[in-house]
Each structure stands twice: as structure tokens, then as C-alpha cells.
Amino acid sequence: MYLCVGDWIIETGKTTVPVPYEGDWIIQLASPGQPTKFKATPIAPIPGRKVWVCHVKLPTETLEFEGKPIAPLPETDGEWLTETEQPTAPVPYEPKPGEPVPKGEWIVEKARPNQPTKYKGKPVAPIFGRKGIWIIKVTQPTGIELYEGKPLSRIPGPEGEWIIETEQPTMPVPYEEKPGVTTPSEDWILEETHDDKPTKYKGSKYLKFIFLYM
């Protein structure tokens, strides 16, 4: 027997005959040097890696896979064109022992074509040289993650969270500290803005000038 191009040798997980599946979530099978592309709903990033926990809806259940969201798919319920991290079939997501599974409640509005994702987060400090873009702190079940984003409006409540918008129409981008540059902390904020009152912070007149004209 000869395998056709694109075929895979598959092994069933149980000692039974293969169960037929009716679905079209695989968009592009892996080819030499090219990863598999599939449809999935991004839920939350996996800490320490540039991939996300992604939900794939099957006719009978929802499975969790690892994947890199590329672009939102039009006319779908929040599904994205998703890519495997390496040129293989989609890899099921398996949390480490004792690690909470990341959840996606912090996403307020999923990206649509030409529309950025909106999410909940706490602005920490502006990123110099990039107008309106801040380091954003997001509290996840697995810990605190830092992202880049544009604060839009404050969410009522004591947590100090804001509606944050991605700079471009993609999923939230993790903040990466540059070599030799210490990530700013939020202790320079003395009093956060509320009820249209301005934020009070620690700094010299020179710093104030910079922030006014960023």
C-alpha cells in the first residue's frame, strides 16, 4: 500500500476501529517545513510560550489544542486561523501538574477583520517612543502577564482595570523587556484616574512634559 501526498499514519487511542469524524477544522495539512493550519477559538496565552490554548469545537465535544493565532476568520463565532507551533498535526494542550488552565474571561471583545481585540488590564507605564502604547498587566489564573496595549477607558471598581485595545488587529501582544532595560513598576502612580479626574503620579517637570507630548 502506498500513501498519498498529505496522508498521515494514524494510530487510534484505543484498541477499536477508527471512529469517523465529520468536521472541517483542518484548513491546511502540514507539508515539508510548513505547519498545519486549523480553525480554533483562542482562549488565553500559555505562560512562557508564544502559543495559546485554543478551543476546537467538534460535533460532540470541545477539545483544547496549542496554537498560534494568525488572523480572525470572517463570519465565524470568534474563530481564528491558527497555526501549529511546529510542522506537525495540532498538539493537544496538557497543563503542567498543579497548573491552572488559562481562561479567556479577560478578553472583552474578540478581534474581527480590521478590528483590534479589546481586553481587560491594568496600565503600568507608557512605552517610550510609541505614542499611546502602555505596558499592561493582566492577571491570569496562572499568574500575572505583561502585554502591550492602548488604554481606552477605566472599568468601574477598585481593581484599577481598564479596557485595553491592541495596537493592531491581532490577539494581545506580550510585552518583551529589552536587554538592560528594567520593566517599570506601577508604584509611580500615586492616584489613579476616576470620575474624569486626572491621574496623579511621581515625576519631575521634565517627565511631565514627556508624558504630555507622547
More confident position, 83 or 32: 83
- If you average pLDDT over residues 70-98, what whole number do you get? 86
Could you write out the DSSP letters of every residue in the chain?
Answer: --PPTT------SSSSPPPP-----EEE--BTTB--EEEEEEEEEPTTSS-EEEEEE-SS-EEEEEEEEEEEPTTSSS-EEEE-SSSSSPEEP-PPTTPPPP--TTEEE--BTTB--EEEEEEEEEPTTSTT-EEEEEEETTEEEEEEEEEEEEPSSTT--EEEE-SSSSSPEEP-PPTT-PPPPSTTEEE--BTTBPPEE---HHHHHHHHT-
Quote the mean pLDDT of the chain: 79
Q: Which residue has the higher pLDDT, 49 or 106?
A: 106
Task: Give residue 210's pLDDT band: very low, low, confident or very high (50, 70, 90).
Answer: very low
Q: What is the pLDDT of residues 29-77, one digit of tens each?
A: 877 778 889 999 999 888 878 889 999 988 888 999 999 998 888 888 8
**What does the pLDDT read at residue 176?**
85
Averaged pLDDT for residues 117-129:
90
pTM across the whole model: 0.69
Task: Summarize pLDDT for 145-165 with one digit per residue, the tens.
Answer: 899 999 999 888 878 899 999
